[in-house]
A and B are shown apart, each in its own frame.
Chain A
């Protein structure tokens, strides 16, 4: 099974991408998409050294829900700040200490931070322990760090890393 289908998630993603790209759902395209989805992981296998395991699919769905909501909220927030003018902004760099260890989880956290209210991730320290984040407007840097950790890091850790500790 593992040898025949090295990356089931990648295969599924590729099939969906193919169907979106041709913009129609027919048996022929489904077969062609499945063939491509099966073949491409073999050709590109050197790029995927590790298997991705999702431990809590429901938490992932919940996380995606929060993420979409926060993207909309964040855009409105930034739009209001821009319209209010540059004079009243309080930009600050904050350092977020990371509890995440895998590369995938860290990059997802960084992307989430960039898409959500008033923050852009700017730099990851060489030892992967702290993430430097720029915020557009904040009065309380510590509360912001606590919110990032609570809202995004905890679910990500649960989804991608909890299994590593138990096995």
Chain B
């Protein structure tokens, strides 16, 4: 029973990890590529980590939960890096399929930016 559940989790995890990278390789502009790794890959690795927690809990007759730590960490950091990447891409005016929004006039969007006029 546990075996079937484990296999299912591992397979789902691997498939989602693969689909995330497939999106990264296959889609046509940076902003659409961003979606695959942030969502599909994160969930895929999350599934694999839960499978690992389950496996070691069953095998060692004790609860093994430290995998939850990595899962939580990934789920918290993935949107942060996606947001920063999108912000960097908007800043660099990377080619986009969707019309990009008008930047906040000419002023640098980040208030901290003005502290370094040398840039």
Q: Which residues in A have some Cβ–Cβ distance to B below 8 Å?
A: 17, 20-25, 71-72, 74-75, 78-79, 81-83, 85-86, 89, 91-93, 95, 110-115, 118, 120-123, 125-126, 132, 134, 136
Contact = CB atoms under 8 A, between A and B. Distances in A.
B66 interface: yes
Interface string B86-103: 110110000011111100
B79 A111 contact: yes
Contacts of B69: 17, 20-21
A86 B32 contact: yes
Contacts of A83: 19, 22
Interface of B: 16, 19-20, 22-23, 26-29, 31-32, 34-36, 38-40, 42-44, 62-66, 68-69, 75-76, 78-80, 82-83, 86-87, 89-90, 96-101, 104, 107, 109-111
Nearest to B27: A86
A17 B76 CA distance: 14
A82 B68 contact: no
A78 B43 CA distance: 11
A86 B28 contact: yes
Nearest to A121: B83
A85 B25 CA distance: 11
A20 B40 contact: no
Given A23-B66, A82-B35, A93-B100, 14 more contacts: A71-B43, A82-B20, A82-B26, A82-B27, A91-B97, A114-B82, A115-B38, A115-B39, A120-B86, A121-B82, A122-B87, A125-B104, A134-B98, A136-B32
B104 A126 contact: yes
A86 B83 CA distance: 22
A75 B86 contact: no
Q: In the complex, which of the residues A24, A112, A126 has the most CB atoms of chain B within 10 Å of its own CB atom?
A: A126
A78 B23 contact: yes
A78 B36 contact: yes
Contacts of B76: 111
Contacts of A91: 29, 31-32, 96-98
Given A82-B23, A120-B35, A122-B87, A20 B82 contact: no
5 contacts: A78-B23, A86-B27, A112-B79, A118-B35, A122-B31
Nearest to B98: A91
A64 B119 CA distance: 41
Nearest to A89: B32
Kindly name the residue among B36, B38, B63, B98 whose own CB sees the greatest number of chain A CB atoms within 10 A. B98
B98 A110 contact: no
Contacts of A23: 64-66
B31 A126 contact: no
